[in-house]
Amino acid sequence: MAQIVKRSYKYRFHPTPGQAFELARTFGCVRLVYNKALDERTRAYTMEGRRVSYAESSARLTEWKKTPALAFLGEVSSVPLQQTLRHLQVGFANFFAKRAKYPTFKSRKKSRVSAEYTRSAFRWRDGQLTLAKMDAPLTIVWSRPLPEGAEPSMVTVSKDAAGRWFVSILVEEKIAPLVPVGQSVGVDAGITALATLSTGEKIVNPKHEKADRKKLAKAQRSLARKEKGSANRDKARQKVARLHARIADRRRDFLHKLTTRLVRENQAVVIEDLAVRNMVQNGKLARAISDASWRELRSMLEYKAAWYGRGLVVIDRWFPSSRLCSACGTIQQSMPLGVRTWECSCGVLHDRDVNAARNILAAGLADR
């Protein structure tokens, strides 16, 4: 049965000079309101032991707009300012529920800035999007169409460190589950092979960051030599940012293609619960682990499996998938990382990663 899900479609767009100015001013006001509200909440919490509500922060925003020093807050759309207060409220709720760290201030030099517009702050007509306080629609590069008949419920405009403008359009979409298949797969995440499947297939790690490492290092050295505050330093910073953006784009594209394929071809996908945060503390492997982006791989598998009616099973991180013989069930006492093939006492010769993927699949299917 088809389900209705909220799905975001992200596109590049090219603002006019007037639109770029208005958005830059909105970004600055969003940051200012967030930081002032956070400051007041922090003082109330530390000095009075009192929690400030969203309603109280919203009332304070109204007061700020009436002061001469902050009257300019009334010149931009009020919706992105209210939305940033809502995000701050969620941040504090997560902090008090011990799901996240204490909210931090937004930096002026933050690489990515954004503003969020709800339905009352934009106009969607004949496939054109016009934001509040603007007299012309955005020039969007429609790299793929929105679902037929979709009506945007929220729009997020952002600018990354490389100077690229993006608009993310949230719509409700009806997604039908995929036709059931009889195949399931276990996935062992790695560095040399990004993913080894229980079928024996190994997905080679493209190592996007490593491929551009020399260019990136050269650009970063050039940036370090530039005088702070100079136009040349800003140009060098943008060059570094463009390289980082290209690496991230290639990595994300590869992961999307891989996860879509795994979800389409298998009724259930079984993975390990990897403690990535702890693993990147290993100085020798941190860079390679970050480049592999296992956390993003799992995130994509989670929401795509939910969309298309597939199962995603996550087994315990302490399961001895590498040390367990998938043929006879014998567990080896130790298995150093350097050991890539090993022979069990039952006489079976194992490829370490393929054996682990088969054990992961078996453990996952046993838990279902």
Q: What is the pLDDT of residues 116-172, one digit of tens each?
A: 999 999 999 999 999 999 999 999 999 999 998 889 999 999 999 899 999 999 999
User: In angstroms, rounded to a whole number, what is the distance separating the alpha carbons of residues 324 and 347?
Assistant: 14
Give the mean pLDDT of the chain: 92
Position 286 confidence tier, pLDDT thresholds 50, 70, 90: confident
> pLDDT at residue 88 above 70?
yes
Extract the tokens encoding 165: 């403008």
Active site residue 39: no
Give pLDDT tens digits for 222-265: 999 999 989 999 999 999 999 999 999 999 999 999 999 999 99
CA angle, corner 354, sides to 351 and 357, nearest 5? 145
Q: Considering the candidates 22, 116, 173, 272, report the single residue annotated as catalytic.
A: 272
> pLDDT at residue 274 above 90?
no
- Position 69 scores a pLDDT of 96
- Position 108 scores a pLDDT of 83
> pLDDT at residue 275 above 80?
no
Percent of the chain with pLDDT over 90: 76
Active site residue 212: no
Q: Considering the candidates 22, 116, 173, 188, report the single residue annotated as catalytic.
A: 188
- Position 145 scores a pLDDT of 93
- Position 235 scores a pLDDT of 93
Phi-psi region of 38 (alpha: psi -120 to 50; beta: other; left: phi over 0): alpha
Position 283 confidence tier, pLDDT thresholds 50, 70, 90: low
Active site residue 343: no
CB 335, CB 342: distance < 8 Å:
yes
Q: Considering the candidates 22, 116, 173, 353, report the single residue annotated as catalytic.
A: 353
Percent of the chain with pLDDT over 70: 97
- Position 60 scores a pLDDT of 96
Query: What is the residue-wise DSSP string for 145-167?
Result: PPPTT---SEEEEEE-TTS-EEE
Position 336 confidence tier, pLDDT thresholds 50, 70, 90: confident
Distances, alpha carbon 19 to alpha carbons 24, 30, 76, 116, in Å? 8, 16, 12, 15
User: In angstroms, rounded to a whole number, what is the distance separating the alpha carbons of residues 41 and 55?
Assistant: 12
CB-based burial of residue 17 (10 Å sphere; 0-12 exposed, 13-18 middle, 19+ buried)?
exposed
CB-based burial of residue 56 (10 Å sphere; 0-12 exposed, 13-18 middle, 19+ buried)?
middle
- Position 111 scores a pLDDT of 60
Give pLDDT tens digits for 175-218: 999 999 999 999 999 888 999 999 999 999 998 888 888 999 99
Give pLDDT tens digits for 291-312: 888 899 999 999 999 999 999 9
Half-sphere exposure of 219 (CA within 13 A, CB side): 16
What's the mean pLDDT in 313-325?
91
Residue 123: helix, strand or coil by DSSP?
Answer: strand
